[in-house]
Amino acid sequence: MSPVQIREAGFIFIFYSTGVMTLHIHKKGMRVLGIAESFVMEYEKSVLAGIVMRSDFIIDGVAFSEITVGGMDATEGILHLFHSLQRDDINAMMLNGCVISWFNIVNLEELYGELQIPLVCVTYEESEGLEGHIEHHFRDTERDLRLEAYRRLGNRTKLTLNNKYEVLIRFLGMDTTEVKAILNRFTLHGRVPEPLRIAKMMARAALRYFS
C-alpha cells in the first residue's frame, strides 16, 4: 500500500493501515538505523552491523547479524538485526548497498512491507548494471533467482548532496526531497552518511575479531 503523506508544522506524517509514523527530520531526536556489511570470500558468513544514530550524532543502539556469502538471505539477516534491537523509535533505515556479500540481494519491498519505516539504499559508484556479472558467476536456478531479485530493485536515482558529492539511491516511503534532507542531516563529510560509515567500521572489526 502506498503511504499517504501530510506535511504540517515541519513534520512529515506517513499514514499506513497499521498506524502513523512521524519523520522529525529537523529534530535532534530523530533516529536512523544504518546497516552495513563486511565479508571475505573465504568465509561462509559475513557480518551485518547496525548502528542506531540520532540526528545529533549520538549512537544509542548497536546490533549484529550474519548472512551467507553468495547466498540469498540478506533480507532475512537485516530483519533479524532490526528485530533484535527491540526498538519502536527508529524513524528511517539506511542500507549501505542492496547487493551485498557477493550477490546476496536485498528485497527492499519486503523490508518496507514488514517494517513500514522509510528506507534508503545508498551506493556510490556508477555502473552498467550487474546482470552480466550474475550470469557469469551463477547458473540455472541460482542465476534466475538473482536476476529476478536484481531487476526488482529497479533503477537508481542520482542525488547531489549539499556538499556537492553525489550518491546513487533507491528508496521507499519517502520522496526525493525527504531522502536528500535525511542524507544531508546525517553526512558530516564526503558522501557516506555517518550511520553507514560507523556501521561499516563495526562490521569490519567484528569480522576480524570472529575470524
pLDDT of residue 9: 42
| Domain presence at residue 162 | yes
pLDDT of residue 211: 78
Whether 23 has a pLDDT exceeding 90, the answer reads no
Report the sign of the C-alpha dihedral through residues 32, 168, 37, 193, in that order. Answer: negative
Whether 4 has a pLDDT exceeding 80, the answer reads no
pLDDT band at 24 (very low <50, low <70, confident <90, very high): low
| Domain presence at residue 102 | yes
pLDDT of residue 29: 80
CATH number at residue 103: 3.30.2170.10
Average pLDDT taken over every residue of the chain:
90
Read off the pLDDT of each residue in 45-58 and give the average, rounded to a whole number. 97
Read off the pLDDT of each residue in 109-114 and give the average, rounded to a whole number. 97
| Domain presence at residue 137 | yes
Whether 15 has a pLDDT exceeding 60, the answer reads no
- Percent of the chain topping pLDDT 90: 85
pLDDT of residue 210: 86
Total Cβ atoms within 10 A of residue 35: 29
* Residues spanned by the domain of 44: 31-210
Could you give the 3-state DSSP secondary structure of residue 40?
Answer: coil
Whether 206 has a pLDDT exceeding 50, the answer reads yes
C-alpha cell of residue 128? 552498467
Residues 6+ apart with CB under 8 A from 73: 67, 104
51 within 8 A of 62, measured Cβ to Cβ: yes
| Domain presence at residue 4 | no
Could you give the 3-state DSSP secondary structure of residue 100?
Answer: strand
Whether 5 has a pLDDT exceeding 90, the answer reads no
From first CA to last CA, the distance across the chain in angstroms is 42
| Domain presence at residue 11 | no
Residue 195 vs residues 32, 90, 93, 199: alpha-carbon distances, Å: 7, 13, 10, 6
pLDDT band at 108 (very low <50, low <70, confident <90, very high): very high
Q: What is the pLDDT of residues 148-168, one digit of tens each?
A: 999 999 999 999 999 999 999
Q: What is the pLDDT of residues 77-94, one digit of tens each?
A: 999 999 999 999 999 999
| Domain presence at residue 16 | no
- pTM for the predicted model, two decimal places: 0.88
Number of domain units in the chain: 1
| Domain presence at residue 100 | yes
d(CA 159, CA 23): 20
| Domain presence at residue 9 | no
